[in-house]
Structure 1
Amino acid sequence: MVICEFCIKYIKNMIVLLKNNNKYLFIFISMILFAIYICHFHDICLFFNRYGKLI
């Protein structure tokens, strides 16, 4: 499994947010899993890199 730089950065940001907001634990875990999943499809990953900041 290859995880691109964006997803690593994204996961680190999610972990920081998670520490500040336990309320949204399930959502953050889902988003982390989604970020890892899309790394299998690099075109989608590049798309997510462009629009991921909106989330």
Structure 2
Amino acid sequence: MNETLFSSLTQARTAITAWKEDYNRNRPHSSLGNITPSEFAMKMAMEKQAA
């Protein structure tokens, strides 16, 4: 059985880019103490300012 998930390469690239952005910015990561990368970056910037 051959199943097509995307109707075009452009559609696939758009969906993959959206997933990657969500994963890298909005999802908590256990390696960052279960906070999002955006929250981690903000936390690091605030710690750097306080130092």
TM-score by length of 2: 0.36
Q: Which has the higher contact order (CA 8 A, sep 6+)?
A: 1
Per residue, is there more helix in 1 or in 2? 1
TM-score by length of 1: 0.34
